[in-house]
Structure formats: C-alpha cells, structure tokens
Structure 1
Amino acid sequence: MVGSPDERRGVRRRSVLRAAGAGVAGFVPAASGAAAASGRQPDTSADWSARLPQHVRVATRNLGLGARLYGFVDTDTLRIDPEQVYERYQQVRSTAPPARMAAIASGLADDLPAVVGLQEVARIRRGPNDYAGGSEPNARREVYDFLDLLTTALESELDRYDFDVGYRVAAVSQNLDEEFPAEGPDDERFDIRLTDRDVVLVRDDLAVRRTDDGTYGLNVSATLEDGTRVSVKRGYALATVELEGAPFTFVTTHLAVASRIIREAQAEELAGLAERRDGPVLVAGDLNTTPEGDRSAAYERLTDAGLEDVWAAVTDDPGPTCCQGELMRNERSRLGIRVDHVLSAGPVVPLAARRTGADPDDRIEATTPDGEVRLWPSDHAGVVADVRVEPRTRDPVPVLRRLLFG
C-alpha cells in the first residue's frame, strides 16, 4: 500500500467503519494477532452483518504515572520526605505525559474499541507549601490531567479523519487523593496533590444504561508519625452498555500491588461484583496478578470464581504487559509478566486478543525538561480483545437472526 503512514492509518480506520457500519460495537473482519496464532478466528462468512451487534471490541490501558507511588515515606521515622516527593514529581515531568497520552490516544483511534478501561489516570496539581498532616488536599493549580490530555487527543485524532464517532467518560472511580510537601533545590517548597482514577470510556454511538463505581473494602494504608493516615485506595468503575438485545457490563479496576493479602481480598470482592451482574460481564484492568508464579493467587481466585481469561482462551503466547523502566526510556522492552487482563463471565465467547504499545516501534519522540528523548507510551502494554456477547432470549430479533444465520 502506498502513501504516508498517516494516510495509510486513515484509510485503515475508514475501512473499519465502512465494514462495521454505524451503531455497532466493533467487529474484526479477519483474524489478527494472538487469535490468528491460535487458529481461532472471528466469523467472516457472508452473513456476518446480520450478527454485528453481538461482536464487541474492548481495550484496557494502564496510562503509567511515570513514578512509583511509594518511597517518599521514611520507614524509620514514618515521616514524609519532601525531597523524595520533589524527586517523584520531577520523574513524572520527565516522562512527558502530554506526548504519551497523545500516543495512547492515537492507538485507541486505530482500534476503535467499543469500551475502554483506563488505569493510573492521574491528576497532578500544585499548590502553596501549607501541608499539615490530615488536612484536606487543597492544591488547585493544574499540572497534568491525564484524562483531559487523553480525551482531547483522542477527539483530535477522530476529527482528523472526519469520523462521526467519539468517546465519552461513562464512569470514574476516584482512588488515591492525597497531598504531600515537596522540597527542591534552592529551598524551593510547594505541595503536590496526586489524584488517581480508574475510568471507563464508551464510544458515543452506543447507549450506556447504567454506571457505578466503588472503593474496595481493604486497601494499603499507613499511619505516619504525625497521625496522618495515608491510604492508597483502589476501586472499580463500571458501565452497562446496550447492544441490540445483548447488553453487557464492563468493569475496569487496578488491584493493589504492594500487598498480596490485600490484592487477594480485592480480587474476591471483584469476583463477587461480577457474579452479581446479569448477562455478559467483561473485566478489564491492571490486576497486578499473573496466571502462574508467585503472583498468581489473586488470578486464581478470579478464575476459580468463573471469570475466563480471554487472552489464555485464544493463545498460548505468554503476552507480557509489564513493565518498562520507571522513566520509560529503555530501548529494549522489559515486559516480562502479564498482569493486564480482559476477563469474561456469562455468555461471552473469546474471539481474539492482542497487545498494544509493546513493540519498540511504538516508542515516541518527546520533549522533556532534560531534552529530546525516546519514550514508551506507558510502562505497561495495553490489551485489545474481541468477544461475542450473547443476546437476551426475551428479545426475539437477535434470536431469530441466530436461528436463520447460524
């Protein structure tokens, strides 16, 4: 195919929309990625258009904060170290969040998933140095809002190719929301407020019937020397999306990383949440648990509860999704474990799955405070999955279609 990379990408996107038609949730007309390797392929027969509403593409993406949440509390004195807070803040800046969010948005525009689950959707604000242990966060000067950066870039990408489709924020789970004192060189002092969220994006040609969010009952927390209790809260956001006779519930979450016991408890709660939903359920997120090895206990609790790993259902490829270097500047990929998953429950048939942002060619050129660098869009790879969800039998139209067309 001739043409520039942007032109080729535009043609590919338009072709997808023409093939799928208006109002459908996404359909893969040919096998790709892991599905092709496994020999399982989506239905490409001539009658597939009659069953389009049952085919759904979903995605999960950890946006990558750009710094660890831990390490700025002195474990001996249980006091916050302002110099470490400043260092973490500078690390985030050095990973060029605007450029990274634009790259992730470009990938989402290529794939056009019906629903997207996002984790580490950070909001970073700066304020005067008035930190007092236990006080309400009050910093208001916006430094980075990952959600705004991503959705603005995504809208621009879609407008660029005259797509009559966009995305809306359907559900948000606010997790951590804490403020910390920072101290830099030359006695520079200010406060940094970090807000962490999980977010569900839904394509705006699909109806959202219900949304919800919540915080897990057990979270990693610590009480500091001044009595301040810092809690790294985790939660979930969900949306019930309506297809023609086949609504499904989509949940995104980010389970605890620092404690195995807490992660397993959160996995139990997540499994219960999925079990209480009627019809098809898709869980997509950074679960910080692996199919095997010493981090597999939470994964096993989820699969033992009836959730199916879509990736494992279509391929034997290990498909690691974590983790690139902290500053995301490593040339060779360091992805070694698969912790980002799409799981399903109820009448859902896995069709295909593949990673995004995992190839060295996905690295971007970005301007940072210390010059031009090449970066990975995130320290995690994303996962895109195609599934078929079954219609409710009380709706006769989808049932008749299946009887007539297989």
Structure 2
Amino acid sequence: PNATDVYIDFLAVLTDSLTARGLDYVVASQVQNADVELPVAKSQTEFFDVRLTDHDVILARSDIETANPGSGGYQVEVRFEISPGDSILFDRGYTWVDVTKDEVDFVFLNTHFEVSAGGQLEIVQRAQANQLIQEFAAEPRLIAVGDFNTGPGDLPYTTLTGTFTDAWTAWGAGGQGLTCCQPELLTESQNLYSRIDLILYLGNIQVLAADVVGEETGDKTPGGLWPSDHAGVVATLEIQE
C-alpha cells in the first residue's frame, strides 16, 4: 500500500473519549476486515491514494474478566467493481471473547454483515448468517451484537432468529426500535426507518430492559450533529446458569 499515514484512528478517538470521561475500557477482542486503497484525483494531473482499514472491536470494562479472544472472516463476501476490469473484495468478519460475570460464563460476539439491497447481496447476508449459526449455535450462553444490516421481514434476519433470540422482540415493550439511518450530513431531521442493529442471544437469558439511544434531538453534539448515522440499541440482560 502507498497510503500509510493514518489520518483518523476511530478506535483511538473512542477510547480516548472514554478515558476523558473517567471510564476504563480495554480492547478485549478485534478483527481486521476490509483494507482497501483507491486513487483520488486532486486535479486533472495529480492523484493521491486514500485507504480504509475496517475493524470490528469488542471493548470491555477493565473490571470484567475476559479470556480467549478470537476472530474469523466470512467465507462468502462481495466483490465490488470500481471500474471496467477492476474490483475490490470487501472483507467482513466477526470477533468474540469469553466473559465471566458473577461466576457465569458466556461468549460475547460482535459482527458487521454485508449491506443489503436485495438480490445477490441478500444471498451473501444469508450465507453470513448461516456461517455464524454453524459456528456458534452449540454455545450454551452467547450474546451477539452488531450492525447486521438485516431486520424484521428480511430473510437473513429470519435465518438468524431461527436460532438466536432477538432481545428487542423478547423485551416486547412496544415501539419499533428503529436504528438506521440518519442522513449522511448528520444535521437534518431524524430519518430512522429500519431496525438492523441487533442484540441476539442464546441460552438461559432474560431481558430486563431494552432501549434505543442517540435518536433524540437532545442527543446531538454541541455542533448540532447526530452522534452517528445509526442510533444505538442497549439492553440489560440477566444471564443464568
């Protein structure tokens, strides 16, 4: 790669912000996904390279016992054509860690499925869902979180919830739980229209509460921006042996 100067490390931005708030989090597990580099025209005669390196990361409070971090990549992925004869493979993966809390062990997993616009992309999502199921369905207790890019009414979501339980649905407190997506400029009115950010689980787990965060006007930054193009979803879970 030619583009080697890091302009923004979003993991460092996040962990530095947590530290500034007096919160002590550590990287418990991570996986590198896509690492793509493309030329950008500065003028008609000048070009420079822009590079994106994507990760999925699990952060844990430093007082939580974690062990055996692991990661994997999806076997079925999408190759995007960027020009005639040229394409890039956008790798996506998942990462997990064993957690012990109140003498109960469970697996915590994070992932980010391929985006979907139906057709072939939905087939890719279903393959990624099936891979997760094949690898983790035997776990006695598991919590899986992430931007799954699929929600109620979609076939990949139906595939997932045939094995895993959706915490938002199990909570059943009403509301659609929409999390996606705000306009890219992050300055316009709220425009959430789908629920693709999910908390899924396996095993003897009870959902005590669930909520969407970052979707109210009061959540905007002092500069008037939404915190993200997604809202977040949080849940309180009681994990039993």
TM-score by length of 2: 0.92
Name the residue aligned to 1:283: 144
Q: Could you say if the C-alpha distance between residues 329 and 225 of structure 1 is closer, same or farther in structure 2, counting changes exceeding 3 Å?
A: closer
The residue number in structure 1 matching 2:233 is 383
The answer on whether the counterparts of 2:2 and 2:49 sit within 8 Å (CA) in structure 1 is: no
Q: CA deviation at 1:244?
A: 3.0
- Once residues 207 and 188 of structure 1 are traced to their aligned partners in structure 2, the CA distance between those partners, rounded to angstroms, is 51
* Greater Rg over alpha carbons, structure: 1
- Pick 1 or 2: higher relative contact order, CA cutoff 8 A, min separation 6: 1
Aligned residue in 2 for 1:361:
218
Q: Higher helix share goes to which structure? A: 1
Unaligned runs of 5+ in 2: none
Counterpart of 2:184 in 1: which secondary structure? coil
1:312 and 2:169 equivalent? yes
How far residue 286 of structure 1 moved from its aligned partner, in angstroms, is: 0.6
1:201, 1:363 → 2: CA distance? 23
Name the residue aligned to 1:40. none
Deviation at 1:187, TM superposition (A): 4.7
The 2-side partners of 1:223 and 1:310 are apart by 37
- How far apart, in 2, do the equivalents of 1:250 and 1:327 lie? 32
The answer to whether the aligner puts 1:235 opposite 2:93 as a matched pair is yes
Among residues 183, 190, 196, which one is paired with 1:325 in the alignment? Answer: 183
Letter in 2 for 1:377: P
Aligned length: 236
The aligned amino acid for 1:334 is N
Aligned CA RMSD, in angstroms, stands at 1.7
SS for the counterpart of 1:328 is coil
Shift of 1:182: 0.7
The counterpart of 2:32, out of the listed 161, 166, 174, is 174
Separation of aligned partners in 1, 2:130 and 2:113? 11
* CA contact 2:180–2:196 (8 Å) conserved in 1: yes
Contact 1:169 1:200 in 2 (8 A): yes
The separation in 1 between residues aligned to 2:89 and 2:44, in whole angstroms, is 31
**Cα offsets for 1:178-207 (capped at 9, x unmatched):** 111011347552101101111100111011
CA deviation map 1:266-311 (0-9, x unaligned): 011112232132x31001011111112xxx1111101112x11111
Q: Which residue of 2 aligns with 1:153?
A: 17
Measured in 1, the distance between the counterparts of 2:156 and 2:52 equals: 27
Q: Residue 351 of structure 1 aligns with which residue?
A: 208
The 1:381–1:224 alpha-carbon spacing in structure 2 relative to 1, beyond 3 Å, is closer
Q: Residue type matched to 1:365 in 2?
A: P
Q: When the two structures are superposed, what TM-score results if normalisation uses the length of structure 1? A: 0.56
Tell me if 1:265 matches 2:127: yes
Aligned-residue offset at 1:365: 3.2
Corresponding residue for residue 44 of structure 1:
none
Q: C-alpha deviations, 1:11-48, integer Å up to 9, x for none?
A: xxxxxxxxxxxxxxxxxxxxxxxxxxxxxxxxxxxxxx
Percent identity over paired residues: 36
